[in-house]
Amino acid sequence: QLQLQESGPGLVKPSETLSLTCTVSDGSISSSSYYWSWIRQPPGEGLEWIGSMYYSGSTYYNPSLKSRVTISVDTSKNQFSLRLRSVTATDTAIYYCARANYGDPFDYWGQGTLVTVSS
Amino acid sequence: AIQMTQSPSSLSASVGDSVTITCRASQGIRNDLGWYQQKPGKAPKLLIYAASSLQNGVPSRFSGSGSGTDFTLTINSLQPEDFATYYCLQDYNYPRTFGQGTKVEI
C-alpha cells in the first residue's frame, strides 16, 4: 500500500522560505501516469491546491501562488519537495502531499504537517 | 479558474437519514469530479471519482451523480462514522479547485 509522509520545519519566520519534503514508500515516484502534488488547508478552513508535478518534470501551479512556489522531484530518494518563498502569516496551514493518477483525483494522501509562519 | 460551489455549507442529520450534498461548477467539467470525506485531524479520503465511481473500500451507501456543471453526493442510511466534512474537487483542468466544504453534523 502506497504511503506518503511529509517532513519539514513546523515553524517558519515571515519572509523566509517554507521547505517540505514528501517521502513515498511502497511505490515508485518514477511510475508513469502519476502526478505528485501539494495541497494545503489553513486551520479551520477549506482545501487549496498548491501544485502538481509529473514524474517527467512537467509542473502545474496554482496561479495565486505561482510566483513563489517550486515543486521538484528527487527520484533517487523517492521524494518530492515543496518550496514556498516569502511566506506570510496567511501561509500558515496544514500541508498535505498527495498522488493522483492521470485524469483522476488525489487518491493517496500524507497525514499532513502543520506549518506556522510566525516570528 | 473553475469555481466549485458546494451547498449547503452545513447540515444537521440523524443516524439513518439520507443526505444529499450538491456541487456546481462554474463551467462544464464533463464527469471530472471527485468527492472527499475529511474527519478532524485527518487527511481527506477519496470516496467517489469520475462523478459516480465508488473508490475501492468505500461503503455502497455513498453514491455520486451528475455531469457537466451539477453534481450530487448522496449518503444513504447515515452512520455515526459519516459525520464529517465533505469536499468536491474538479480534476478537469488546472488549477485544481475544491468546493468550500459541507459539514455534516449530528
User: Taking chain A (119 residues) in consecutive chunks of 10 residues, what is each chunk's mean pLDDT?
Assistant: 96 98 92 91 97 88 97 93 98 97 92 98
Mapped onto helix, strand or coil, the DSSP state of residue B99 is: coil
Residues of B whose CB is below 8 A from A63: 1, 95
Entry field: residues in chain A: 119
Task: Identify the residue whose cell numbers are 485544481.
Answer: B96
pLDDT for A103 equals 82
Going by pLDDT thresholds of 50, 70 and 90, the confidence category of residue B106 is confident
Query: What are the residues whose beta carbons fall under 8 Å from the beta carbon of A115, sequence distance 6 or more?
Result: A8, A9, A10, A11, A12, A18, A20, A91, A92, A93, A94, A95
In A3-78, the DSSP E strands lie at 3-7, 11-12, 18-25, 34-41, 48-54, 59-61, 69-74
Lowest mean pLDDT among A25-34, A66-75, B5-14, B42-51: A25-34
pLDDT band of residue B3 (cuts 50, 70, 90) is: very high
Nearest by CB: B1 against A52, A63, A107? A63
CB B86 within 8 A of CB B10: no
Residues 69-98 of A with CB under 8 A from B: 96
Alpha carbon of A45: minimum distance to chain B alpha carbons (Å) = 8
**Which residues from B are below 8 Å from A59, CB to CB?**
none
Q: Which residue of B has its CA nearest to A95?
A: B43
Asked if B34's CB is within 8 angstroms of A106's CB, the reply is yes
